[in-house]
Amino acid sequence: MVNYQERLDRTFAALVDPTRRAILARLEREGGVTISDLAEPFEIKLPAVMKHLDVLDDAGLIRRSKSGRTVTVELDPEPMKAAMDWLRRYERFWSASLDRLQAYAEAEEKKARKRRK
């Protein structure tokens, strides 16, 4: 059984690649998609898409089902939920920093407007 930390590591490692993120985004929009249909918009060959799917599968982010010779891929949201829960623990640190950045940007904008007048 894969422990919690290993699952998070695999999830974040899978999300690093833009092709894999695009695959997940498509699965989120469309639901079950065949591997051939998933590979179509990419300028990489089918074996490369299959390797990306293997990484996503290893991270638990997708489920594959086979009907005859057709393999359909679906999004499995559970690992993403776990990653979001982990990220939320640190949100308070980001929120304070972003609030200070917003206040600074607003103050600078106000100064710039006064200079223009």
Stretch 29-53: mean pLDDT = 91
Query: What's the pTM?
Result: 0.73
- CATH code linked to domain 4-116: 1.10.10.10
Secondary structure of 66-92 in the HEC alphabet? EECCEEEEEECCHHHHHHHHHHHCCHH
pLDDT value of position 102: 87
| Residue corresponding to tokens 């007048």 | 117
pLDDT of residue 48: 94
Give the pLDDT confidence of 54-92 residue by residue, as tens digits. 999 999 999 999 999 999 999 998 999 999 998 888 877
Instruction: Write phi, then psi, for 73 (nearest 5 degrees).
Output: -115, 135
Q: Which amino acid is residue 78, in one-letter code?
A: E
The full set of domain ranges for the chain reads: 4-116
pLDDT in tens, 5-29: 888 999 999 999 999 999 999 999 9
> What is the CA angle 93-96-101, rounded to 5?
125
